[in-house]
Amino acid sequence: MAAVEPVPGTPAATADLGGERALVVADYHAGIEAGLRYEQGVEIDSRAERRRDRLRGLIVETDPDRLVVLGDLLHAIGEPGGAERGEVEVLLESLPADLPVTLVKGNHDGDAESWVEGVEVTDGAGVRIGNVGFAHGHTWPSRDVLAADVVCTGHEHPAVRLEDEVGGSRVERVWLRGRAAPGPFVDRYEGLDWTDPDLVVFPAFNDLSGGTWVNVEGQGFLSPFLPEGLVDGQAYLLDGTRLGAYDRV
């Protein structure tokens, strides 16, 4: 079994960290409804309870030893508003008291470490636990993360636009998976001892957060190491359907 396995039908995965199993999600974006209202004038009822129940259900289903959030637990960039902060506090209070939580800091997480209680918060370069490296993806992963067998990132919110025979279309969240290409990372880190890790780009947990349509021309990637840092990247739907090379779907 691979070190990182998607949970079928969900934007979440389990990871074998050697001495423990983790449930891993990316881009939770608590409080996004307030952000959409402020940024785009879009009124959407809060889905905070739905998000919380979905994550708690995954914890019950997978029974992990640790929860890893691959960045952007929060949505607002900067000081979180009351609704956003309240959503995070209620979420954390609702989790099992004996479940360690690691937040790999993303570009939306501000100074979360100063007020989020009971959570290990790493810096943006990420953390390696066992043979799995975790980084949000908005900046370069650390050397230690790149030395893992598998590197997991978020930030990109990858999605594909699928069209039917009569011209209808829909957008689906996807996983991207392939080998990490050494070029961008070796150029970034002088003397890097390249170990040829796999690279897994997680879909966003939050279904309101939009994303990069990876099979649509002109849709630029957000991460500084993508797409150049992904070799033979394959796209997979949440139900596990393999779509093939992400840029030719």
pTM for the whole structure? 0.93
218 token code pair? 């002109």
Give the whole-angstrom CA distance, residue 21 versus residue 154.
Answer: 19
Cβ pair 137, 72 in contact under 8 A:
no
173 token code pair? 């969240």
Distance (Å) of CA 143 to CA 125, 133, 139: 9, 10, 13
Of all residues in the chain, what percent carry a pLDDT higher than 90? 65
Give the whole-angstrom CA distance, residue 181 versus residue 158.
Answer: 18
Q: When comparing pLDDT for 60 and 38, which is higher? A: 60
pLDDT exceeds cutoff 90 at 240: yes
Give the whole-angstrom CA distance, residue 133 versus residue 142.
Answer: 9
- Tens digits of residue pLDDT in 70-116: 988 987 655 665 677 788 889 999 999 999 999 999 987 778 877 78
Tell me which residue has tokens 């790149």: 146
Give the whole-angstrom CA distance, residue 132 versus residue 200.
Answer: 11
Give the whole-angstrom CA distance, residue 53 versus residue 71.
Answer: 19
The alpha helices in 135-236, defined as continuous H runs, are 143-146, 182-188
Burial code (b: 16+ CB inside 10 Å, e: under 16) for 188-210 equals eeeeeeeeebbbbbbbbbbbebe
Q: Assign domain 4-248 to a CATH class.
A: alpha beta
Give the whole-angstrom CA distance, residue 174 versus residue 213.
Answer: 10
Work out the pLDDT band at 1, boundaries 50, 70, 90.
very low
Give the whole-angstrom CA distance, residue 180 versus residue 190.
Answer: 17
Question: What integer pLDDT is reported at residue 61 of this predicted model?
Answer: 97
What is the domain partition of the chain in residue ranges? 4-248
- Any idea what DSSP says for residue 239? T
- Tens digits of residue pLDDT in 39-82: 666 667 778 899 999 999 999 999 999 999 998 898 765 566 56
176 token code pair? 């991207």
